[in-house]
Amino acid sequence: MNTLEINKYKDPKSSGAIEISGSKTVLEALLQENVDTVFGYPGGAIMPIYDALYDYSEKIKHILVRHEQGAIHAAQGFARVSGKTGVVFATSGPGATNLVTGLADAMIDSNPVVCITGQVYASLLGTDAFQETDVINITTPVTKWNYQVTDAKEIPEAIAKAFYIANTGRPGPVLIDITKNAQLQLFDYSGYKKCTHIRSYRPEPEIRIAYIEKAAELINNAKKPFVLFGQGVILGKAEEEFKSFIEKANLPAAATVMGLSALPTHHKLHVGMLGMHGNYAPNVMTNECDVLIAVGMRFDDRVTGRLDKYAKQAKVIHLDIDPAEIDKNVKTTVPVWGDCKKTLPLLTALLVENDHSDWVAKFRELEKEEIKEVIHNELNPTTDAITMGEVIKVLNELTKGEAIITTDVGQHQMVACRYVRYNHSKSSVTSGGLGTMGFGLPAAIGAWYGAPEKTVVAIIGDGGFQMTLQELGTIMQFGAKVKILILNNEFLGMVRQWQQLFHDRRYSFVNITSPDFVAVAKGYYIDGEKISERKDLKSALEKMLSHDGAYLLEVMVGKENNVFPMVAQGSSVSEIRLK
């Protein structure tokens, strides 16, 4: 019974309530939240919802994944590129526990995802019934909010709260666990009301104008200001406000891994990427600036390096919607709480137009040093082996910065983050805080459903690909036109690099043998090709991008190439190594 049918059967003389099942209420709620795509996997405890979904299939597209972890990573990719909420269905027990890695990933990377899991009958809770797990206690540390429904009457309000909490303030994952009796239960349903307020939940802190004024004064008097920006700019839909902010006072700006694509790569004030494998200039200059302005980022350890040697000379301004991030890792001189879409214009209005061209030029000087020592050799190698960087260079030439790029986790991820060019926001999808191998392929599937008009390229290592390659079955069945680019160095590359540099080249269990990936893809009716010679690289990438449908290209790259620059663990960002 769809929404129109429900309205049709309402008695105008009555309160408007009609009797429907809890399962149908779930789907009615999703329609009211404008959900059109769900990633999931059925099972016994969620079967009533899937039975109801049979009648809603024209309005809600369900993508049957091959593993529940694939479902939540796909929902993350969908959310990241579409700006909507990703939705996941899973059954109880192992179905629900298979979501935990993705929930943790979504939690630390602030991805809005609503997971709806089935649960055993309420009468069986706590009896160790078949496929029963205490999913609420298991997922409490890795969700923004979770709730167990045992009565169908609770479903509309619970789902409304779930979407509100997932999407407001600092976004995050929410899980609603619904017992089977509640799914089957009939009750008088009088409609769905979206949630707009929850007592004791304040998604946005109060903006304090006095702090905005203090921040503006510091920036206006700064000789060497430096801006760090993260995913908060994207989540706040504040890309234009951010650009106006840095342009008014000519402020150099560097991105975190999660902030990539918030500012076009070619922007004149974009000075690179921060972090352990970030660019040389922004890392060094962090310890040279006099005012450090952080916008929508959380001072992760991979950005700060050794905290007792991080930006000690600078006054720190921190703009963030989550008050818990202020002073958590780096002591703030001026905290600016609030949504940066609202706080940035207030701050920009108080800035004086300034010329920091000499300061910006110092970043460019250090950039030339990195180009000479690292980038030129990576993008234009003279060795026989193909480098990951040159693959990205050719990909940039062909996509012209218009593609959505998802990555897995490892050396290929850092190379992609360093060298991929982005023209548009929401174009970079990677696992930042948790660093989840296996993320890249299912995230690409979700990204394609979030933006099917775009070219979506999943850049993946040979190790991470084997963690979720079963999702090729999802591509096969539903036709997602994902381009899969495997950079194969026959190693768990990032671990190998650390073993080489810090463990005397004792390569302990990092050699990885892989199947014939092209043959595996063809087993799923996906075309593909494997290359190992430079002369074939451009034509192979052109073929991949022009192919009408999913395509897998495996590129054999240098086995022991390392990713530089690098800030070694326990080192200061100013001790970044070029080689």
The pLDDT tens digits for 350-393 are: 999 999 999 999 999 999 999 999 999 999 999 899 999 999 99
Rounded Cα gap, residues 542 and 26, in angstroms:
44
DSSP letter at 168? Answer: S
- Which pLDDT band holds residue 535 (cuts at 50, 70, 90)? very high
- The structural domains of the chain, ordered by start, are 3-189 (3.40.50.970), 209-363 (3.40.50.1220), 386-560 (3.40.50.970)
Task: Read off the amino acid at residue 233.
Answer: V
168-206 pLDDT per residue, tens: 999 999 999 999 999 999 999 999 999 999 999 999 999
Residues in the chain: 579
Instruction: Write the DSSP string, 339-393.
Output: -HHHHHHHHHHHPPP---HHHHHHHHHHHHHHIIIIIHHHHS--SSSPPHHHHHH
Please tell me whether the peptide bond between 565 and the residue prior to it is cis, using omega within 30 degrees of 0: yes
Report whether 431 contacts 461 (CB < 8 A): no
Report whether 310 contacts 174 (CB < 8 A): no
Q: What is the pLDDT of residue 314?
A: 98
- Could you tell me which residue, 291 or 9, shows the higher pLDDT? 291
Rounded Cα gap, residues 526 and 475, in angstroms:
8
**Hey, which residues are catalytic here?**
68, 130-131, 180, 494
Rounded Cα gap, residues 151 and 163, in angstroms:
19
Task: List, in sequence order, every residue forming a beta bridge with 189; answer none if it has no partner.
Answer: 18
Backbone angles phi, psi at 406, to 5 degrees: -105, 150
**Residue of 490, 546, 486, 487 lying closest to 521 (CA atoms):** 486
The pLDDT mean for the chain works out to 96
Rounded Cα gap, residues 24 and 14, in angstroms:
21
Rounded Cα gap, residues 493 and 258, in angstroms:
21
- Which pLDDT band holds residue 15 (cuts at 50, 70, 90)? low
Burial of 135: CB neighbours in 10 Å, binned 0-12, 13-18, 19+: buried
Average pLDDT over residues 150-158: 98
Give the H or E element holding residue 317.
Answer: strand 315-320
Task: List, in sequence order, every residue forming a beta bridge with 19; answer none if it has no partner.
Answer: 188
pTM greater than 0.85: yes
Average pLDDT over residues 271-283: 97
Q: What is the pLDDT of residue 501?
A: 93
Q: Judge whether residue 9 has pLDDT over 80.
A: no
Rounded Cα gap, residues 122 and 185, in angstroms:
12
Q: Judge whether residue 5 has pLDDT over 50.
A: no
End-to-end CA distance of the chain: 64
Task: List, in sequence order, every residue forming a beta bridge with 316; answer none if it has no partner.
Answer: 292
Task: List, in sequence order, every residue forming a beta bridge with 20; answer none if it has no partner.
Answer: 187
- Which pLDDT band holds residue 569 (cuts at 50, 70, 90)? confident
- Which pLDDT band holds residue 16 (cuts at 50, 70, 90)? confident
Q: What is the pLDDT of residue 365?
A: 97
Rounded Cα gap, residues 374 and 576, in angstroms:
13
